[in-house]
Structure formats: structure tokens, C-alpha cells
Structure 1
Amino acid sequence: MTLTPLRLVNATVLRPGGLDTDPISLCGGRIATDGGREVDLSGYLILPGIVDIHGDAFERHLAPRRGAVTDPRAGLPALEAELSANGITTAWLAQFWSWEGGMRSPDFAASLCAALERYQAILDIRVQLRLELGCHDAFEAASDLIARYGIGYVVLNDHLPHEALAAGKRPPRLEGQALKSRRSPADHLALMQRLHAEMPVARTRLAALAADLKDRDVILGSHDDHDAETRAWYRGLGVDISEFPTSEAAAVAAQAAGDPVVMGAPNALRGGSHARGVSAAALIGMGAVSALASDYHYPALAQSAFRLAETGLPLAEAWALISINPARMMGLNDRGDLAAGQRADLVIVETATMRIAGTIANGQIAHLAGPLAHRLIGGDA
């Protein structure tokens, strides 16, 4: 539903200059300077729409049980509903291109891209391709997919258990991973052993692929940088963004070199990593985090920003981690703040409960609940 021009009054609004109570107008999908039907939003907080640059919680919508869903389009409406209910107006779906198989396979990545191309979303939903280094023999096919669907963000992963494989040990969770890939444990182990042995070839091929993608203005990131040396190697390939570094040394090295650092919002919300990595909250306190991403839990984005604000970080700085900072990292200058002329992407929050009551994306209602619905559609508050 596209909104007619509106003038929202009596709310607290987070603008580039900070919080104020001046009216904010929406017209033609943009933040306007004045005009429109006046709506009293006393008791509400208006914030910029959330920009999520890495989320994989979409998988539960596309395949709630293994093999239960064969067409990703069937789950996209439910996915969009969850995104919008959590204030997310721009989202990257972190989709693997991996040897791991199942929903992480190249075939599933292609089917997701095709489904999104046909789906008419209110939100801005994009694909982040998570390219496994072990898939070096399919780099050309991945490059073709990136070009075909205009994928603008590629993140490099290496999920091979190199330490165990190098020691000739049986990797942990082998049976479960094999089941997901529809391979026998023996076949899955043999594949990992071969890819581990071929890693020097993969690294050589990766350098050529990274150079080609950079020439095409694709933004590159690395995932789970373990140490400063790993981050330096990726930086040498033109991989600028460090996603979810697992150690303080890696994050600090990235920050010192001017590389944006992305951490998981669930980590910041919980006060630590579930995988025993470095604490996002600690890195934020050091000024070493550029943006937060939903990772595996969409509600964590807004919740983590509010938690950070409760513990002393100014709300404007906390919210910037999930709005303007990730938008600018992705080269999106038309969103992330509520300045005049920007996209009308905004989140409306009940100040009494801090519940997200409404989400507007590009001037269209994506989520609306409770008394706010009555106010916006012209009924009694």
C-alpha cells in the first residue's frame, strides 16, 4: 500500500543532526520538507529503516524442513513479513555457493536468485553470494551467476576443517553435514580431503576471480577472519570488508587499515559470540565495528541497537550501526538516514514498549500493527 503524502507530527525523530520533535513529511516515496495529511504520532519514535547486509535466517522460510520446499518463491512472502516486522527495509540474503550441498549448493543459489527476480517485493531484498574457496572449480559458473543477476556483494568463506584434515582426523559433525549434502559420510569426507589438498590451486584462482569482480565494481568481503594475517591476505586481493572476525586481533587490524568491520547483532545482544569468538559489544566499545548484521536472527538488529543505547552508547550511534553505516558501506547514498530527499524508509517504534509498530519502505507500508494502524489509516487512535 503506497501512502498518500503524510505529515507526521509529535513523534521523536532521529535525523542526521540527532533526535528532535519536528514534523517529518513523506511524499512520492521520499522524505519531504512539508505537506501531506497530518497524523499525530505522539508516543512514537521514528527511526531510519534498517539495512541488513548479512542475514541467513531466510533459510527457515524457504525450507522449514529438509526437502519440504522445492520452490524458494513459496517462502518469500513469509520472509518479507518477518523482515518488515523487524524494521528491515533493505536486506541481503547471505546465500552460499558451496561444496556443502543442500541449501548451500550452487543449484540452490541459482534457484533463489531466479525466485527473487520474479518476486515483487515491497522491501529492497538482494543476494549476498557467500563463495566457498573450496569451490574453485566452479568459480567461472559463480562469476556468471553474479553477472546474470547483478549481485553486488560477494563474501569469501572457507568452511573446510583444515586443522582436522591436515592431521588426518575425522572432522566433527561429519554425519550431519553429509546428510544435509545427501552424500554418504565416506564420500563427504573424501570430498573435503580433496578440496583441502587443492587449496593452493583455489587461492591462485581466487586472486584472478577477485580482480575480475573488482573490475566489475562488485563489493568483496571475507568471513570469519581468524587473525591479522588472514585479514592482510584478503586485503591484498582487494577484499575490503571483514565480516564477523573471530578475534580481536583481526578486527583491530582491519580497523587500523580502514577496512569496515561487520559483526553479528545476536553477538552484540547476547554479550558474546555463541561460537566463542570475540565479543561484538567489546569491539563496539573499542570503536572497531562499522556495522551490525542480523546473522541468524532478524529481531536482533533493532534489539541490539536499543540494548547498546541502554548501556550508554548514544541512540544515534547505536542505530547508525544498522542503518546509515551499512548503507554507505554498500554504496547506497539514498537511504540510512531521514534527511529530506532520501528514500522514505523508516521504522516507527512505540516508545512505551519499544515495539516496532510500523515499517515503511520506499513510501509503502510494509508492516503496520496496533494503534498505529488506526492513526495512519485515519481512524481513532
Structure 2
Amino acid sequence: MIDLDLTGAEILLPDGLAHGRLSFERGNIVDGPVGRAVDLTGYMVLPGIIDLHGDGFERHLAQRRGAMKQMDQGLVATEAELAANGITTAMLAQFVSWEGGMRGLEFAEQVFAAIEATAPTLVTDIRPQLRFETHLLALYEDLPGLIEKWRIPYIVFNDHLPHDRLAAGKPPRSLNGQALKARRSPEKHLAYVQSLHERRAEVPAALDALCARLPGEGLRKGSHDDTTAEGRAAWRTRGVQIAEFPETTEAAEAAHLAQDGVVLGAPNVVRGGSHKGNMSAVEAICMGYCDAIASDYHYPSPRRAALMLADTGVLDMTGAWGLISTGPARVLGLTDRGSLEIGKRADFVVLEAQSRRVAATFAGGAVSYMSGDIAGRFVG
């Protein structure tokens, strides 16, 4: 952790970009100056990116089945990628799913234990997110205790069962691959997912009871892939007030009108549409139905998405970058970060003004990433 005055750069303040000075001391932004100045002429300084939902870390923890035995090293590699993309706070979205393997309960136990042990040694603020498959009824009784044990601050409810195919008597499209990851025979895996599908009528009432038992304070709750206003309303009555990646305009509008937090995917913005043919994130943003953008599966995308929205005039720079900084901070209830205001954490990213590549990232006033010519300005 260092104390510095950054001068000469364009700084994104709450009221827009301006040339000025950004001072930070003991990990927080201060009125300053603090004494040692670094000239960042030719650069931009923006609030650090807060990523609400990202599963790009999976490739670092287990590139191949059973390959990663030391998860702490995988988390170190994950932090390097996060920091290189300007992310200063990251929710690592880990499944507990019927799919097994890297999405099974045993693997999740290892991931959450590794995060708890390793996160305090990292500069980037890394936190766990639990993605829970709603049809795992056998885990409902234990789930509140597991959330406490794993220190989960954010749970998201998913349902990725291929109900249409199962209802038609057809196996999942990736049955053999799923069975291999779950260490079951294809026949046993098919029987298992069919048994989950057959109990689908029990799930809504079970969810009502489960959500009533989950902590009301300190635990953020989200739904995933909402498709209807009625479905979103059902989640809201359970105290689930974040809508992640709604698939339709109807669901996004319903969440927005109810003042639920709406999270959309940055890759959807960068691609110009959903790879699954769902609602366009850009269209939803134009309609005002978005509070935050998340990396989803690609850590470079939040920065690129925000810059694209500003460049194309969909939003001004404050509004566009706010979808990856101030917006996520509000959704997650993180009042100490998200903007470059006095008293906030010194979480910021430095971009080359011309290329807009990440030159440096600071989290809590400490360097998490630095590359290229900018290093000479700090150490010279």
C-alpha cells in the first residue's frame, strides 16, 4: 500500500471526466495532496471495476478434470487475470449443481475453502458467490448452514435442467459428457436428472420455505435467467431482489419497475446480442432496464462493454462506466467503493488514453497490476 498524488490524467469523477488530481493515503481516497506526485499525462483514471458475477476463474482452478490440486495457485492466477482487466472486486460464481464435476458439491467445498484461505493474501477483493440449482431438494435442509460455513455473501438460484427434453422422454444433449464429469454412467446420470425433473412441482413451495430460512441481512439473493414478470414477482416475494441476466424484456422491465437490481452480461453487450438468442443487453440498457453489467464468463468484457456504450452514445462516460462500478456497488450494498470520491477505497484502473488498454490497477491503494511504460512513472 502506497500514498500518492496522481496528476495530469483525465479522472472520471461522479460528474464526469476532468483533469485534476487524485490523492490516496492508507488505502483510501483523500483530499490531499499527500506529498509524492506521479504524472499520468496521457492516461485516464477510472473507478475500479466491480464484477458481480464471473465464472471465468474455472479454467484456472481446473483446466482439465482433476488437474488442479492446489487451488490457491489457481486463485493467484485468477487474480492476475482480474487485475489485468481492471477488476478490483470480484464475485467468483461457483455452482452447486446436479451436473457434478466442477459444478458439484464436493468441488464447491474445495473452492469456497480455498477462497476463504487465499483471498486475504491477495490485493484484489475476491468473494464467493453460490449458484444453487433449485431442483436439488435433498440439499435444502443443509443449505442455510452451508452458506454460513462457506461465508457466502451472495446466492443466485438457477434451474438449468433440460425440462423440455426430459418431458419429451429425451436425454440431455450432453448426457455422456455430463455423466463423465459427474462420475456416473450415462444411464445413472439420466435416471438422476429425470428424478429431479419429476419432482419439479415440489420446488416452488420448497423455495418459499428455504428462502424464509436464509439470512435476511448480509446475504444478497438473486434469480437467474428470468423469463416472465410472474416468475420475477415470485422471486421477489421470497426476498430475492436481484435479477441476473433476464432473458426477456418482460422480465427485465418487471424487475426494473419493482426496483429490483438488474444485472446483464458484458459479453452480450460486446457481441451486440445474446449468444443464445435472448434479449439484447444493449436494448435493455437503452430502455433503462439495467443497473449493472457483469463479466459472466469473460473478464475483459466489462471494460470493453462500458467503453462501447460510451463510444456509441448509448450513455455518457459516467453512465456507461457506472454500470461496472457505481451500479454494481449499489446492487451488492458496497458503500465504500464504486466511485472516486473522498473517503472511498482507492480502487481504480488506469487506462492508456489512446488505446484504452489497462496500464495499471490499484485495489485498496495497493498495486494489483502494472505493465509497460507506466511503471517508469511510478518507480522512476
| TM-score (structure 1 length as normaliser) | 0.96
Question: CA offset at residue 184 of structure 1?
Answer: 1.5
Greater shift, 170-179 or 296-305, is seen at: 170-179
1:48 is aligned to 2:47: yes
Question: CA offset at residue 216 of structure 1?
Answer: 4.4
Match of 2:59 in 1: 60
Question: CA offset at residue 140 of structure 1?
Answer: 3.0
Q: Equivalent pairs: percent with the same residue? A: 51
Q: Give SS of 1:215's match.
A: coil
Match of 1:336 in 2: 338
Quote the Cα distance in structure 2 between the aligned partners of 1:57 and 1:251: 24
State which of 309, 319, 331 in structure 1 corresponds to 2:321.
319
Contact 1:136 1:206 in 2 (8 A): no
User: How many residues are aligned here?
Assistant: 376
Match of 1:33 in 2: 31
Contact 1:53 1:91 in 2 (8 A): yes
Question: CA offset at residue 39 of structure 1?
Answer: 0.9
Contact 1:110 1:145 in 2 (8 A): no
Match of 2:151 in 1: 150
Alignment of 1:170-319 (within 5 A): 170-312=171-313, 313-319=315-321
Contact 2:91 2:126 in 1 (8 A): yes
Match of 2:363 in 1: 361
Quote the Cα distance in structure 1 between the aligned partners of 2:353 and 2:267: 22
Contact 1:160 1:196 in 2 (8 A): yes
Greater shift, 31-40 or 44-53, is seen at: 31-40
Quote the Cα distance in structure 2 between the aligned partners of 1:178 and 1:228: 34
Q: Give SS of 2:141's match.
A: helix
Alignment of 1:104-143 (within 5 A): 104-119=103-118, 120-143=121-144
| Stretches of structure 1 lacking an aligned partner (at least 5 in a row) | none
Match of 1:70 in 2: 69
Whichever residue aligns with residue 20 of structure 1, its letter is A
Q: Give SS of 1:179's match.
A: helix
| Stretches of structure 2 lacking an aligned partner (at least 5 in a row) | none
Quote the Cα distance in structure 2 between the aligned partners of 1:220 and 1:178: 30
Quote the Cα distance in structure 2 between the aligned partners of 1:262 and 1:329: 9
Quote the Cα distance in structure 2 between the aligned partners of 1:296 and 1:337: 24
Quote the Cα distance in structure 2 between the aligned partners of 1:36 and 1:192: 63
Question: CA offset at residue 278 of structure 1?
Answer: 0.7
Contact 2:15 2:318 in 1 (8 A): no
Match of 2:21 in 1: 23
Alignment RMSD (CA, Å):
1.1
Greater shift, 351-360 or 135-144, is seen at: 135-144
Contact 1:97 1:132 in 2 (8 A): yes
Question: CA offset at residue 355 of structure 1?
Answer: 0.5
Whichever residue aligns with residue 224 of structure 1, its letter is D
Q: Give SS of 2:20's match.
A: coil
Question: CA offset at residue 215 of structure 1?
Answer: 2.8
| TM-score (structure 2 length as normaliser) | 0.97
Quote the Cα distance in structure 2 between the aligned partners of 1:109 and 1:196: 23
